[in-house]
Structure 1
Amino acid sequence: MKLFRVVPKSGSPLERFLRAMALVAVFAGVLWAFEARFSRIADRFAASQTVYDETGTLSAEDRDFLRRTAEELKVRFGIELVVRVFREALVVPDLNEKTVFIGVSLEKREAEV
């Protein structure tokens, strides 16, 4: 006695084959949809990690330019760009040797590259 039968025994062999292929197509479609959705979420998260403006002084055009520049640096040279604009104290995150950090503190009027 089999409890879970993916393809029923009734019907012609062609019908069973078509049902099995339809089931495989549904699973492939669902997997593709999940992959597309989560890759967009990962891209948005990575973009938000690239440019962080605590003060709100960067315009949308400036942020988009910095994100495109960061993407171009990543594709061409394998270098990550991190830009942070702080109100008060400049905080340098943990970096590796393939990361360029640009930090600006507006109140203290200091910058670090």
Structure 2
Amino acid sequence: MKPRFKNINKISNEKLKRKVYSEDNLQKALVEITKDMSKKLAAKTFQVPRSTIQFSLKIPGHGSKPGPPTILNNEEEEALVNWIKIISRKGFRKRKEELIKILLRTEKNGLNYFKQTSYINFPYT
């Protein structure tokens, strides 16, 4: 009888565990590597994954956050959320598609209504 292997394509309910390390330790490891310390020893000494060190050396300016960069900054996003809450209280509920059209229209016209946090300056209220 042949041994049965687990289906490697089966989706697991377990979350992937990410190793936790500080950005400061990564920078210290990179400095020591430039001073002729091996990558493996730096990874053990500063408790940073060796693959992370290799990636940081290969692509130096890469950000640490996964995913694409955000379009709106925190202030603009907070202003947009407040505006959505205010217009929905007034009875003008917007769907996701309508909000995307409004944002694209303001960006296309070069208007930036997110600089000021006042909801009065938002379009289409």
Query: One fold, TM greater than 0.5?
Result: no
| Larger fraction in strand | 1
Q: TM-score if structure 1 supplies the norm length?
A: 0.35
Q: TM-score if structure 2 supplies the norm length?
A: 0.33
